Amino acid sequence: MITTLRTKITVKEICAGFVYNEMQGKGLFGLSGRLTIQPEYQRCYIYADNGGMKEIAVIDSILKGYPLGLIYFNKVSEEILEVLDGQQRITSVGRFVTDKFAIRGGDGNPQYFSSMAEDKKTKIFDTKLLIYECEGSESEIKEWFKTINIAGIPLNNQELLNAVYSGPFVTLGKEEFSNSQNANIQKWSAYVKGSANRQDFLERALDWVSKGNIGEYMSKHRFDENINELNRYFNSVIDWVSTVFTDVVSEMRGLEWGRLYEEYHKQSYNPAKVSSEVQRLYGDPYVNNRRGIFEFILGGCADPKLLDVRVFDEATKKTVYKTQTNTAEKKGVSNCPLCVLGPDANKTKIWKLSEMDADHVAAWSKGGATDIKNCQLLCKTHNRAKGNK
């Protein structure tokens, strides 16, 4: 890859012909049309978020003469350049000089570029940017792109993958899954965590259809002209979850629905029964992990480990230990009731409290409560053996 450092390009030149597209939330062109600021694979402009703190900071830096940091262009051809890194900063400057936002002036009032004193305008326009022009094969550039850390907000994993596998498939995928105007987002948000802008829905859809091999899947479908399979699979998962679980609760968001769909979608469930089970478990004070309720029910309520059922507290353990040990010592047998039944030397062994664990006499899954009457201490070995049954 060839890189050439450019030090003479000014803000004025970069911003010549700057176009900001409100619909797409993107800065599009600069350098009198030669520069593509936010190519397809770049994320939307985010420096205007949070009241525009970041874009205002960019303009403040220029006015104070601070460097804006390195900017990288990809030289596509003699006439065409693409911003590889720096699109947020360039879009900030472009938006400012086209009066899309104001900074705070000396008197505390909002100040737009067009109303600034001439010397300040000149200062901004004449600021020179530090730009590396890179020229290389697509794979070289994208490999490099993967390794750089963008100043400010690093690209997340899906944004990187979108860059590496840019093409018609990513474009269509983003149209469907990364568009915050999509009316389905609200429904999806019940089950999928994150935001459309940061590619979280696209990532989840790809994760599900590819069974976790997102990069491989994107590479294989990179030049596809449709996303039918991706769409179909994602919607099948969402439809399945929303049919089986008619209650929508916050703990559902972000669960591994793709895996659960694969494991359980061929079984039949009675949604009314499922719903009453969900409500019963939500009301059960012994359930520590509510996120485990859904898989617990899908699996036929067989694996209470998923619910992280509340354990006995230390005070209860100590009390039970004392009673149990006193009785055992009187009888001359082990204080672990299961060791007593065993064949070896442990028959009479008195374990220390630290060597024992508390156990539900009547199993929690069969309705046994987590209170002192249902508590016994077992040596660790026996407790583990019982837990695994």
The string over 141-166, giving b where at least 16 C-beta atoms fall within 10 Å of a residue's C-beta and e elsewhere, is: bbebbeeeebeeeebeebbbbbbbbb
Q: Which of 338, 353, 369, 372 binds Zn ion (CB under 5 A)?
A: 338
Number of shown-chain residues binding Zn ion (CB under 5 A): 5
Q: How large is the angle between the packed helices 168-177 and 214-221, nearest 10 degrees?
A: 120
Which window, 53-61, 214-222, 292-300, 376-384, contacts Zn ion (CB under 5 A)? 376-384
Quote the least distance from Cβ 365 to Zn ion, whole Å: 22
- Phi, psi at 336, each rounded to 5°: -100, 115
Determine the Cα angle at 297 with ends 296 and 303, to 5°: 35
Q: How far is the CB of 342 from Zn ion (least distance, A)?
A: 7
* Shortest separation between residue 324's beta carbon and Zn ion, angstroms: 12
User: Per residue in 350-381, is it b (16+ CB within 10 Å) or e — as a string?
Assistant: ebeeeebbbbbeeebeeebebeeebbbbbbeb
Site string for Zn ion, 284-323 (x = CB under 5 A): ----------------------------------------
What the block records as the tokens of 54 is 């970041």
Q: CA 165 to CA 162: how far, in whole Å?
A: 5
- The strand pairing partners of 71, in sequence order, are 131
Stretch that binds Zn ion, among 6-14, 15-23, 101-109, 375-383 (CB under 5 A): 375-383
Contact flag: residue 356 with Zn ion (CB under 5 A)? no
Q: Which spans in 127-199 are helix H?
A: 138-147, 157-164, 168-177, 185-189
Minimum distance between the CB of residue 335 and Zn ion, rounded to whole angstroms?
9
Least spacing, CB of residue 383 vs Zn ion, in Å:
8
Give the shortest CB-381-to-Zn ion separation in angstroms. Answer: 6
* Closer residue to Zn ion, CB minimum distance, 84 or 328: 328
State both tokens at 194: 């994150």
Nearer to Zn ion, 143 or 329 (CB): 329
Query: Is residue 336 a contact residue for Zn ion (CB under 5 A)?
Result: yes
Q: Which of 163/339 has CB closer to Zn ion?
A: 339
Q: Does 382 bind Zn ion (CB under 5 A)?
A: yes
Closest distance of CB 343 from Zn ion, Å: 12
Q: Where are the beta strands (DSSP E) in the chain?
A: 2-6, 19-21, 26-30, 35-36, 70-75, 81-85, 103-104, 110-111, 130-135, 356-360, 375-379
Q: Which tokens belong to 352?
A: 């220390």
Contact map string, positions 129 to 148, toward Zn ion, x by CB under 5 A = --------------------
Minimum Å distance from CB 322 to Zn ion? Answer: 18
The Cβ of residue 182 has, within 10 Å, a number of other Cβ atoms equal to 15
CA-closest candidate to residue 177, choices 231, 110, 244: 231
Q: Which is nearer to Zn ion, 28 or 336 (CB)?
A: 336
Pick between residue 167 and residue 342 the one whose CB is nearest to Zn ion. Answer: 342
Per-residue x/- track, 19-38, Zn ion (CB under 5 A): --------------------
Nearer to Zn ion, 70 or 338 (CB): 338
Tell me if 339 contacts Zn ion by CB under 5 A: yes
**Phi-psi region for residue 308, left (φ > 0), alpha (ψ -120 to 50) or beta?**
left
Q: How far is the CB of 319 from Zn ion (least distance, A)?
A: 19
User: Torsions phi, psi of 119, nearest 5?
Assistant: -65, -35
Among 28-36, 103-111, 156-164, 330-338, the segment contacting Zn ion (CB under 5 A): 330-338
Two tokens at 31?
């350098």
* Residue 237: Cβ within 10 Å count: 23
**14 in contact with Zn ion (CB under 5 A):** no
Tell me how far, at minimum, the Cβ of 315 lies from Zn ion, in Å.
23
Contact range with Zn ion by CB under 5 A, out of 121-129, 160-168, 300-308, 377-385: 377-385
CA gap 389, 387 in Å, rounded: 6
H-type alpha helices, 23-167: 49-64, 87-97, 118-126, 138-147, 157-164
Identity of the residue, 71 or 378, whose beta carbon is nearer to Zn ion in the bound complex: 378
Segment interacting with Zn ion, rule: CB under 5 A, options 108-116, 158-166, 200-208, 333-341: 333-341
**Interface residue list for Zn ion (CB under 5 A):** 336, 338-339, 379, 382
